[in-house]
Amino acid sequence: MLILLTIFLLLFIPFAMLILHLARPKFSIQGFLVVLAVLAGWPMVLLAKSAVPQTITLLRWQPVSFFPISPALLIDDISWYFALAVMSLALSSIVTSIAQLGQSLKPDLIKNDPKVEVIDVQAHPEVVASFSKPALSIEYTSTSNWQSWAGILIMTSLSLVAVTAGNLLTLLLAWAALDLLELAILLSQVLQSKSRERIILAFTARMAGIGMALLAAIIPWSQGISISFEAINQSTSVYLLVAAGLRLGVLPLHLPYIQQLPHRRGLGTVLCLIPAASSYILLVRIANIGVLGAASPYLLGLTALAGLYAAIHWIIAVDEIDGRPYWLLGTASLAIASAISNQPTACIAWSIASLLSGGLIFSMSMRHKNLIPIASFGFIGLSTLPFSPTWLGMTLYQFVGASSDAIIAPLFYLLSFAFLLIHSLLLTGFIRHIIRGVFYLGEQPAEHTEKWVWFLYPIGLVFILVTHYLIGFLLYPDLNELPLSGWIMGVVALIISVALWYLLRRYLYALPHRDQSNQASPLSIFFSLEWFYRLFWGLFRILARMNALLSTILEGDGGILWALVLFALIFVFLQR
């Protein structure tokens, strides 16, 4: 019941904030209410571990003959991991965003500095800094801070419903609510027409994911089987995998559109990662069955291509925020590959790393040498080194169990090398972005920071680290059953990533700073399937124009005559 109380708390506080804002607009205690909500919610989710497994029926739909299954929550070990990760992301995003209120830019120090390019992302969210100069983004505070905090709380509460969903019905309802809320937030903050088109296209892809999941639910329901996670089998796992892939942007490859949000951190990070958690939980449920048979090699190959594309763009991104969609795609490809290969523990490890390691680097807007230890622990958490939180992620590379029956050994090892390279590239980009901007201006910092910020800001980051290492500790494998690859694969990935980072710094330094126009190259457009989405959007516009023309004709002076002509044509056609 503690997680259910947390969900209600996170839904109640935004309404209380709205009432306070309407009644007392100048009475600014919204920040206190938000911090109180997340500080109360995090320990409640933590303590919910003592009551697992637990099933909570939310509603009982009647009649039972039409609705054999009702919305319910399932708090087990798997859902608890994701619930704690989601709650930690929300807590970190809110605490670090509040800490940023204690920062103010000192423009006199940098306005004449040729090494720095300053961007006001609030006034010009569509502008991206040139790769030739380090970018120092200025995210000014505004009166809408409480609105973004309220959005974080509501998104977190709906995500908690999704990750603790006890059946497919509850998960689909949570997906729909998350998508509608995200669509409303994006459309309210992005005003450019072309940008809104991309938002609608991304929303359509997620709706297609819901459609695939519904198709997967129809199969067991038509056979009189309950649409629960226990009913997932080989005939439905492929549909559910494609549904999760559509929502994550991996199968087929497409980029979630959140790049032009005025709030690039905080709410932007939550909109990127927290909805992804609702798809990761489905991947873990699928991983208990796997996707075997003839489709397995093809799905793994497509996933590897998507992961390589994303990992390369993650490295060359101007900063971690610009590369955030590619981080999600790259880490999601590892989780999807684990689900296909019937490796549930590896799927959990990569999914949690995607959320928490990503949440750590995306929340680190401040660059200071005192934060390097926190960043180092975040890097270790992603490394799959022995005793690290992602240690079990290395089981993705084991040619044992169900995966050995679905794919031949040479192809498996080739794909394993591709996923190892994806992991190494993600680590390389993590190194590059985490140390970006540390003292590049010399001894004088570009921003004035209040003293209290240095107390509050690290706390928000440490919560993510504590959560990640706690989950990793609970996932530690039995050392007696661990193969040799479990001890060396993390070291191999670390060596490759450090070598790649050294080569980039020494010989290809211009590569990470090249102009972003390279993303419009034909090769990049082909692999990102941008050409397909442009073609789809062009067809949609043609149909929209035809519909508008038809409406204009029928609503004009001769509308009745045209309607009679169309009726006659239809009648003649039916007569034939």
Q: What is the mean pLDDT of residues 458-475?
A: 92
**Between 544 and 418, where is the model more confident?**
418
Axis-axis angle for helices 234-248, 193-222 (nearest 10): 170
Percent of the chain with pLDDT strictly greater than 70: 79
pLDDT greater at residue 254 or residue 398: 398
Residue pLDDT, tens place only, 143-172: 457 888 899 999 999 999 999 999 898 999
User: What pLDDT score does 441 carry?
Assistant: 41
pLDDT at 254: 61
Res 548: pLDDT? 79
Question: Which pLDDT does position 533 carry in this prediction?
Answer: 62
**Maximum C-alpha span of the chain:** 86
Over residues 463-467, the mean pLDDT reads 94
Q: What are the start-end ranges of the H helices in 164-192?
A: 168-189
Average pLDDT over residues 503-522: 58
Tokens for 44? 């409640």
Average pLDDT over every residue of 212-232: 79
- Region 309-313: mean pLDDT is 90
What was the pLDDT predicted at 106?
53
Higher-confidence residue: 43 or 231?
43
Q: Is the pLDDT of residue 225 over 80?
A: no
Q: For the ranges 44-48, 116-120, 384-388, 565-569, which has the lowest average pLDDT?
A: 116-120
Whether the per-residue pLDDT at 127 is higher than 50: the answer is no
Torsion angle of the four alpha carbons 454, 456, 460, 462, in this order, in degrees rounded to the nearest 10: 60
What pLDDT, on a 0 to 100 scale, did the predictor assign at position 319?
Answer: 84
Burial zone of 472 (CB within 10 Å; 0-12 exposed, 13-18 middle, 19+ buried)? buried
Question: What confidence tier does 216 reach under pLDDT thresholds 50, 70, 90?
Answer: confident
Task: Give 123's pLDDT tier (boundaries 50, 70, 90).
Answer: very low
| Residue 477 DSSP one-character state | P
Answer for the pair 422, 311: CB distance below 8 angstroms, yes or no: yes
**pLDDT the model gives residue 132:** 41
Q: What is the mean pLDDT of residues 250-268?
A: 64
Give pLDDT tens digits for 273-291: 999 999 999 999 999 888 8
Distance CA 529, CA 495 (A): 32
What pLDDT does residue 515 have? 46
One-letter amino acid of 305: L
Strands 135-138 and 117-120, by their bridges, are parallel
pLDDT exceeds 60 at position 124? no
Nearest to 427 by CA among 314, 277, 511, 514: 314
pLDDT at 538 (0 to 100): 77
How far is 363 from 96, CA to CA, in rounded Å? 7
Q: What is the mean pLDDT of the chain?
A: 80
Burial class of residue 93, CB neighbours in 10 A (0-12, 13-18, 19+): buried
Burial class of residue 415, CB neighbours in 10 A (0-12, 13-18, 19+): buried
Q: What's the pLDDT tens digit per position in 406-431?
A: 678 888 889 999 999 999 999 999 99
pLDDT of residue 571: 78
pTM: 0.83
